[in-house]
Amino acid sequence: MGDNKNGEDESRKSVTTAKKLYGSITELSLQIDSLSSRCLEIDDLFSHDLQAKRVTLKDCCESLFNVCPKTYGSLAREKLWRTGLYDAVARARKMQKDRKWTPAQLGLVKTHLQSGIGVLQLYVMKLK
């Protein structure tokens, strides 16, 4: 009977941790969106501050995925994909709509995509 109570306590702790992590992810997403919307150049999209927030977002999403993979796994993956990876590339493409890309700008976007693909590949491997 004591084992059942310990299991319930662990389950409650997991849910509480997941809710806190989700709150952090939501807040980070809003901060990243706010900072990104003020960017005027592609270099600004990949500034140290924004990159640090994206890394923190990745870490929080990974933690959420590890705490409750069945309940929050797809949500964590979606938040990471949308806010951490896709939005930066979409904004960069929008900024460069009618202009030629410089090699430095292409390098920033390619590096961002390659690291994102690696992270998402790890998520897929964990789901198997």
In total, how many domains does the chain have?
Answer: 1
pTM of the complete model: 0.86
d(CA 71, CA 26): 17
pLDDT tens digit string along 39-64? 999 999 999 999 999 999 999 999 99
Determine the structural domain holding residue 83 and report its residue range.
2-126
pLDDT tens digit string along 74-97? 888 899 999 999 999 999 999 998
Mark out the alpha helices in 38-86 (DSSP H runs): 42-45, 48-67, 69-79
Confidence of residue 5 (pLDDT cuts 50, 70, 90): low
Give me 22's structure tokens: 């989700």
Q: pLDDT at position 71, please?
A: 82
Give me 88's structure tokens: 């930066």
Q: Do 105 and 48 form a contact (C-beta atoms < 8 A)?
A: no
